[in-house]
Amino acid sequence: MELSKSALLRDLPSVDAVLKSGVAKPLFERFGRVAVTDAIRGVLAETRATLKSGTSRLPSTEELVALAQARLADDDRSTLRPLFNLTGTVLHTNLGRALIAEAAIEAAVEAMRDPVTLEFDLAGGKRGERDDHIRGLLCELTGAEDATVVNNNAAAVLLALNTLACGREAIVSRGELIEIGGAFRMPDIMARAGAKLVEVGTTNRTHAKDYRAALSAATGVILKVHTSNYRILGFTSEVGAPELAEIASAANVPLLNDLGSGSLIDLSAFGMQREPTVHEAVAEGADIVTFSGDKLLGGPQAGFIVGKRELITAINRNPMKRALRVDKIRLAAIEATLKLYRDPDRLVERLPTLRLLARTRADIEAQALRILPAVQSAVGPDFVVGPCECQSQIGSGALPLDTVDSAGIAIRPQSGGTALERLTAALRSLPRPVIGRLDDGALILDLRCLTDEAEFLSVLATLDHGISA
Ligand SMILES: *Cc1c(COP(=O)(O)O)cnc(C)c1O
């Protein structure tokens, strides 16, 4: 026994022998010599260990190379992987929020491939400004005097607060001291912006007199924050933006309105609750309005700052702006996305976020019934698969209480145990992972965001039937 084991170990080829055998040659082209050598070394070490434990036979060189190839391919796969978002949350922050419109993708690719007029004024042959590519569009779409863009809305709020209230006081209602997921807490952002937080009112009620009483020579800004991810209901009172604008203007203090999602169009046309548009927030008298690029707007991650010219000028002069600016790739995608808003009639067709949000329950239900048999056959007989009604969420702190009628597929295990966990794990390990939502002992696949049905079915067909064992 010991003898045959050491004979097998002796016959195991060296790294050099495998490399020279010619079998590994096709791998060099794809992965490079260094990585291939490493992978073969790893496979040989593993094989040596299993041979020592006496449980295996000597693999052929072809088998060793195949193992190395599997390792290399696994290592080569991106960890940032496309997946099917069947969670029912359209703008899912953990899944990358808005999907980018084709026009914006093309613009971004072009900007990546070639030198561009990022900060170059073609007419004058002089240095230009990167904001020039979007300033006009943002002013046109929001009615603001001036506009700029930074990395995201958190950066927009940080930069605006730092510019308007560093070393000064920022007044905000206790009902609006929000925490957005991912460590965006208004009091912390204020502290980092160098502004002293002055809370007014109570959690449920804040009045105009509270703001007025808090004003002083040290006031740098009055801040209004859209309560993106919660609502205070019941015995409540808040001061609306128009009245706040009057209070701010009388005290000669700027009003900053952080809209969060901030839509450029009225979404009630698409069956959603009315949410104030950026245009309205500007018209209501806010001196500065901030909002995200990748929430309802449906573009790439970005933070827009629009408002009074002299304030935007001050914001642009803040050295922090340079640290928060966006690159040419995103700028190109933002410009192309904003341009789509010039033709509202075709927006649903062209902007994926809106297209997904506008899908009717009837349309999604029909899709659920169509793919139901394929889903049942993929998950096997240990699960009961049926159609179900769903309520999709918009996500990313847009209209937190407002859901959209949707439909999907509910998958229930015939018996308890770990069947459901095994199923969700198997779906996550598909070449293109499928992410659903667990609800009351069932896996729910909300089909609102399922656009590539053919791809979904072909990926699903590769589901390992081991899960139904
Ligand atoms: C989402 C949100 C933010 C943060 O915006 P990001 O684009 O995620 O940085 C800030 N304020 C409000 C009110 C929000 O809804």
Domain ranges of the chain: 2-76, 84-93+356-468, 102-350
Q: Which residue among 180, 223, 330 is best mutated to probe the pocket of ligand 1, counting the most ligand atoms within 8 A of its Cβ?
A: 180
Name residues of the chain where pLDDT drops below 70: 1-3, 397-401, 465-469
- What is the reported pLDDT for 151? 98
Closest C-alpha residue for ligand 1 atom 11: 260
Closest C-alpha residue for ligand 1 atom 15: 260
Residue 152, ligand 1, Cβ within 6 A: yes
Q: Which CATH architecture has domain 102-350?
A: 3-Layer(aba) Sandwich (3.40)
> CA 60 to CA 295: how far, in whole Å?
54
CA of 152 to the centre of ligand 1 (A): 8
> CA 345 to CA 358: how far, in whole Å?
13
List, in order, residues 6 or more apart from 325 with CB less than 8 Å away: 130, 149, 150, 151
In CATH terms, the fold of domain 84-93+356-468 is Aspartate Aminotransferase, domain 1 (3.90.1150)
Residue 228, ligand 1, Cβ within 6 A: yes
pLDDT digits (tens, 9 = 90+) for 177-218: 888 777 788 999 999 999 999 999 998 999 999 999 999 999
Closest C-alpha residue for ligand 1 atom 6: 153
pLDDT digits (tens, 9 = 90+) for 414-444: 987 899 999 999 999 999 999 999 999 999 9
Residue 261, ligand 1, Cβ within 6 A: yes
pTM above threshold 0.85: yes
In three-state secondary structure terms, 57 is coil
Q: Residue 96 has which token pair?
A: 């990358």
What secondary structure does DSSP assign to 337-383, as a single string?
HHHHTT-GGGHHHH-HHHHHHH--HHHHHHHHHHHHHHHHHHH-TTE
- What is the reported pLDDT for 469? 47
- What is the reported pLDDT for 398? 63
Residue 153, ligand 1, Cβ within 6 A: yes
CA of 234 to the centre of ligand 1 (A): 25
- For residue 220, what is the enclosing H or E element? strand 219-225
Distances from the Cα of 61 to the Cα of 44, 52, 188, angstroms? 10, 18, 59
Residue 292, ligand 1, Cβ within 6 A: yes
Closest C-alpha residue for ligand 1 atom 2: 260
